[in-house]
Chain A
Amino acid sequence: MAVMLETTIAPGHYGPYGGRFVPEALTAALDQLDREFRAALADESFTHRLSELERTYTGRPNPLTLARRFSEHCGGATVYFKREDLNHTGSHKINNVLGQALLAERMGKTRLIAETGAGQHGVATATAAALLGLECVVYMGEEDTRRQALNVARMKLLGAEVIPVTTGSKTLKDAINEAMRDWVSTVEQTHYVLGTVTGPAPFPEVVRTFHQVIGREARAQILEAEGRLPDAIVACVGGGSNAMGLFSGFIDDPEVQLRGYEAGGSGVETGKHAARFAAGTPGVLHGARTYVMQDEWGQTVPSHSISAGLDYPGVGPEHAWLHDTGRATYTPINDDEAMEAFRVLCRTEGIIPAIETAHALAGAMRLGRELGPDSIIIVNLSGRGDKDVATAARWFGIDLGGAASDALSVEMAEGR
């Protein structure tokens, strides 16, 4: 076991949110992560290596794209996309994973584990593990392995072991439970690459820090393109990592509205949703105090969304604090509204977005009408939609016929 200093680092809080609610067995590993994280950020060889990987491997900086035709569907507001979908592996997730994988290497750990919902974080983790020569195990809810079969195949091609989780609701929440159980048993050689801005301290801060590059680039790019800051920035919020990355670049600019869109599922009133702010209450889940979908006894209520990546009953604790302080606003977007935005984007800009991202696009369509034609909005285009083609084809009634890939046929045959 790595040498441990005889100190305890005060866990991070965001107002009443955050903290560290975990078995004592994990305290030492979280303290170690906290120390190594801070030491790494102060170490030029680490930050240089990370930025070189971002430039030469991820493909950063990615562009800020003016969406002329999509803007027409947003009340004439000028809409820009921050193109995280153009990153290697197809989403923002790689930003955090490269940072954490380098941290793992620095801590002398040889095995990465991760949870994944839509599979984007799992793919990114499998990618980083391959790149650095680390072992990789990804926990994924059985339900999600079916609806995101393509990403399961990608992870396996990259050499990762994918373990379907059959407990509880068989989705992201249960994958996190399983990853935590693995971690507590293997912590000496294993780093848990948590995929979003939640979990016990210091994870929310670690993940946010590695995604800040999104906001940093976007801020510089919009100033260059428009000579001024945007009126609003928009992101979808599952755990909330892509949103936190974008928000971080503008959080100190009070004139910029921060808008997060969570999954309204079939509608908040139906109970089948993942709208933590619209219908959740403060509680503790997966190591952090935050907004949680829970019943009157504190039992977690299963979430529902067409988007596996937003299908999570908790949310990052910093978002909870931004919500309570009023600095950011969170609004649910139902499945049908998200899928309409998905369709519009495909046809107006030639970009197939992830269904997660489609929630942010739907938000921008609403918000643009509210803010009017003189406004400027940046949407975080957090991921591309290749993984969602089967779901979208089914939603829009597209006959895949004989051209369907095996993965698609399996999904269609199962009626999913």
Chain B
Amino acid sequence: MSGVYVVVEHDQSCFAPASREALSAARNLGETLQEPVVATLIGEHIPEFAALCEEYGVVEGVNLNDPKILDYGPELWGQALAELLVLRNPRVVLTVGTDRGNEVLAQASARTGVPFVANCIDVNHDGVWNMTRLQWGGSLLEDSAVDSPTIFLTYAHHSMDDAPAPAPKNAVIDTIDLDLDPILARTMVQDRVTLTEGTTLSTAAVVVSGGRGVGSAEGFASLEELAELLSGKVGCSRAVTNNGWRSHADQVGQTGTRIAPEIYIACGISGAIQHWVGAMASKNILAINTDPEANMVTKAGYAVLGDLHEVIPAVISEIRHRRGIDS
């Protein structure tokens, strides 16, 4: 039993940005455990695979291939890793905890009985596996111990630096031809629909967000206007989506979107931990709230105490004034 096998995530042969984090994390864990790192590609060979491995100091790769793997499919990908376990007897199989990463390792774990621990931020081994992992979407941490020779794990997305470290020599890629049960193709992607292009809530530089304090769906008109003036996006809290004031696509937080704008303007939002965890990666936070004790106010870098329905229109007219637009 040896080797840290790292699954390199891709979508239709296009490497996911998270795969770079995964390779960086695997290299670190390989050094800690004194184990070789083997990059693992599921599906048809991708010509750039070897170069990607080399960029991260990884000189060994395997390509788990089966002509039935025409696209992403949790069962096909999970079973491919289950077969890797039998063929190569790895000590660790890991990737980054994206939607697909967690799903594929859970599938592989279910198919092999090897324990799976999701969203780790720290892993080591001293007779048993010791990991620190995220609970509550990162609002709380759990130290866990797992007594098992082999372990499947994911590192929490965005918890590892993307740290290239060129390899001293060319990577050698082995191809392993699999013959998976064709029934597993029942969960392969059948089609894709593109809804948005350009800026999304998760990539916007400015997010103007409203909470219960906005009071109604109509109350969002001024937030919309401000967001538009700043080429930003409108966000909201779960209280707002639960009231049907806005679509869930706008929700920021543990069960919504995680954002990382240059500035987050949080209006009438108390800052519950589940909301905060989605907003805390913002570079600057401005809270507008009537309550000086609100968590959002005490945690924000900037705050304005007052009624958002007075503050926001005043900000809009100040911007219009400076830009020489008549209001």
Q: Do A and B bind each other?
A: no
| Interface of A toward B, CB cutoff 8 Å | none
| Interface of B toward A, CB cutoff 8 Å | none
